[in-house]
Amino acid sequence: MKTFFITGTDTGVGKTYTTLALGALLREAGLDAGVFKPVQSGVGDAEFLKDRLGLADNLREINPYCAKEPLSPHIAFPRAGIKLVPAKIIAAFDKVAARHEIMLVEGAGGLLVPLVKGYGMADLARDLGGRLVIVARLGLGTINHTLLTVREARRQGLTVAGIIFCDTTGGRKGIAEQTNPQAVQELADVPVLGTIPFLKQTDMARVARCCRGQIDLKVLLAEPPPDTARLLALDKQYVWHPFTQMQDWLADVPGKPLVIDRGAGSYLIDSDGKRYLDGSSSLWVTVHGHRHPVLDEALQRQADKIAHSTMLGLANRPAVELAAKLVGIAPQGLEKVFYSDNGSTSVEIALKMAYQYWQNTGQKKKTALVHLANSYHGDTLGSVSVGGIDLFHQVYRKLVFKTIELDMPDCYRAPAGKQYPDHAFEAVARFEELLKKKHAEIAALVVEPIVQGAAGMIMWPAGVLRCFEQLCRKYDVFLIADEVATGFGRTGTMFACEQEAVHPDFLCVAKGITGGYLPLAATLTTRRVFDGFLFSYQEMKTFFHGHTYTGNPLACAVAIANIDLFKQARVLEKLQPKIAFLSRRLECLKAYPCVGDIRQRGFMVGVELVVDRQKKTPFPWQERIGARVCEAARQYGVLLRPLGNVIVLMPPLSMTCAELATMVGAVEKAIDHVVGQTT
Ligand SMILES: *Cc1c(COP(=O)(O)O)cnc(C)c1O
């Protein structure tokens, strides 16, 4: 099924005549073209088209929303006491479209016309799929209108199938009328499909006769074939993927891997046009969904100014504004912002700053860094040094610097004879023992507060983080909170530290900072730390660190918009009922004996699969059970990425309850498919 969304450069340019003409020509060519008029205000275009094209569809189905007054929909419908619901339009469209080979959707007004607040004609065009046909008036002034519409279509990620000029007057054709199509073709770089002559009579046969040869149907119907095979071949030839056994990747599995082409809200769309729910927020980064208009716009606006300038010796507007915003939302006491471009560097910067602070201030023995078992702070060597996941880190042991690892039990598997949550507090006690003996040699403790993500969504009982903080204070050791994963609303609060009113000395943020748009990271710290670097240059106590793209203006501009959206769209407030909904929905997984544990903090979820629920026996890692369940979930339209035997659900905070239900449903079906048997 092909869909064409017919939009105008203005109102009254001949959209309905164009729809009629295309319908007549397509039907004459033996193609079953249906018509859809999502919203109608004023004249009865839908009746007219149904009647002239002899369509059997019911009028209400062709036109789900209709208001009497000829006004923009966002005004006409409220005045008529009708509540427009875009999802209902899409559902109605799907029903009609199922009956036809080709769908002609006639928009109302132009692309920027709003339907309801925050949702315009271009959004509808995108949600209905298909390509745009832009209808332009023939005559003076059309070049500007047409080019603006083409530009806006491109900006909104819509594909233009072509431009059709429509003669709505039948007047004499002057130079403008004769030269416009050619001029637009050259300037817009999209095909001009032809000109619809003035239609004196509107019955289908006559329209078809009158327009025959005037519109290039071949060009209209030609769709570039999907180029997935070519992309996959190039990928396999040239690309080395992260955290991937490339031997497996290179193995020829039909339909795998997917090539992502675009995104929309909670969905990723592949190069064949198939849609998948993005259940891992594109590896924990997407916050407000893909292609959020506000974030798109922030990026575009900044691109219109400058993409990059250096922070070495210069300031830039977005980096300055963002720093103030970050300090505004971060736990109190964090007053200085140091930028970098990924989570690993944000942690390394904190480690280096903590270490150098003590060097700078004369406590030269405070050099050791303490981290927890199963910790993950990134993949560069400094952050691997404070990493505690053997699968990732073991091979580099001789390459990294020495640290002190603090045993931190997993909340699901208490050591023999120990009970949750007591054993977690035993880790706190062990930390105190360590500090009593060695605090004079310890520079900092680095933690992932409350949720140890990469370890498999290990979650701490309430109070543990607070205890760590108090011990750090008591023994004057810095607390580094790596909120790369937990930051920006993931756990239900802006930062996980807030949940226990913890004020770290360093806060590392990355992943969600730009809403998932661009790589950016920041290390926030206190005035005390900052002041520990204020010396004359000759004393050589400067923080000698900086990445080329530090404070990149594009990334900072999107990050500002991301933070503003939290407030404007009341994201955290709206998230709470969705967190509760997700918890309830996850209950259904308990019917499977292989589901050993379901762990959740906000929109961070780990579902741990086990061979035996009572004994908590893990699946042998060689079975790749997590990976196989996630692969199966693809069949049900959901993309996920596991951590060993743990299925990770990390939906964008913007995911709706209906989408959350679909996502969990897919996990359920996938578990059933791969492991089977319920109780
Ligand atoms: C992802 C992650 C990192 C590393 O971030 P990158 O941007 O991949 O370098 C560090 N810490 C935590 C807690 C993370 O989840």
pLDDT of amino acid 677 = 65
Q: What's the whole-model pTM score?
A: 0.87
Tokens of 616: 């908590």
Measured from the CB, is residue 351 less than 6 Å from ligand 1?
A: no
Express each pLDDT in 544-570 by its tens digit.
Answer: 999 999 999 999 999 999 999 999 999
Give dist(CA 29, CA 204) in Å, integer.
Answer: 13
Q: Which atom of ligand 1 is nearest to the CA of 485?
A: 15
| Closest residue by CA, ligand 1 atom 6 | 343
Q: Give the chain's radius of gyration (CA, Å).
A: 30
* Interacting residues of 621 by C-beta distance below 8 A, sequence separation 6+: 644, 645
**Segment (H or E) for 102:** strand 102-106
Mind giving me the DSSP string for 535-564? Answer: S-GGG--S-----TTTT-HHHHHHHHHHHH
Q: Which atom of ligand 1 is nearest to the CA of 452?
A: 13
Rounded to 5°, the CA angle 551-556-562 comes to 150
Give dist(CA 214, CA 18) in Å, integer.
Answer: 12
Q: Give the pairing of strands 334-340 and 521-526.
A: antiparallel
Measured from the CB, is residue 388 less than 6 Å from ligand 1?
A: no
Q: In what order do the strands lie in the sheet with 478-482?
A: 334-340, 521-526, 506-509, 478-482, 442-447, 368-372, 404-406
Domains, the chain, ordered by start = 2-221 (3.40.50.300), 258-288+572-674 (3.90.1150.10), 310-568 (3.40.640.10)
* Interacting residues of 415 by C-beta distance below 8 A, sequence separation 6+: 409, 423
Where do we find the tokens 């073209």? 33
Measured from the CB, is residue 377 less than 6 Å from ligand 1?
A: yes
The 3-state DSSP class for residue 436 equals: helix
Residues 641, 283 contacting (CB under 8 angstroms): yes
Give dist(CA 246, CA 145) in Å, integer.
Answer: 50
Please state the separation of Cα 272 from the chain's center in Å.
19
Measured from the CB, is residue 378 less than 6 Å from ligand 1?
A: yes
Distance 382 CA to ligand 1 centre (A): 12
Residue among 460, 484, 488, 495 whose CB has most ligand 1 atoms within 8 A, to mutate: 484
Give dist(CA 274, CA 289) in Å, integer.
Answer: 17
Nearest residue to 575 via CA among 165, 320, 287? 287
Give dist(CA 473, CA 36) in Å, integer.
Answer: 66
Distance 225 CA to ligand 1 centre (A): 38
pLDDT of amino acid 224 = 75
With a cut of 50, list the residues of the chain below it in pLDDT: 679
pLDDT of amino acid 255 = 60
Q: Report residue 372: phi and psi, to 5°.
A: -95, 155
Q: Residue 139: is it exposed, middle or buried by C-beta count within 10 angstroms (0-12/13-18/19+)?
A: middle
Measured from the CB, is residue 339 less than 6 Å from ligand 1?
A: no
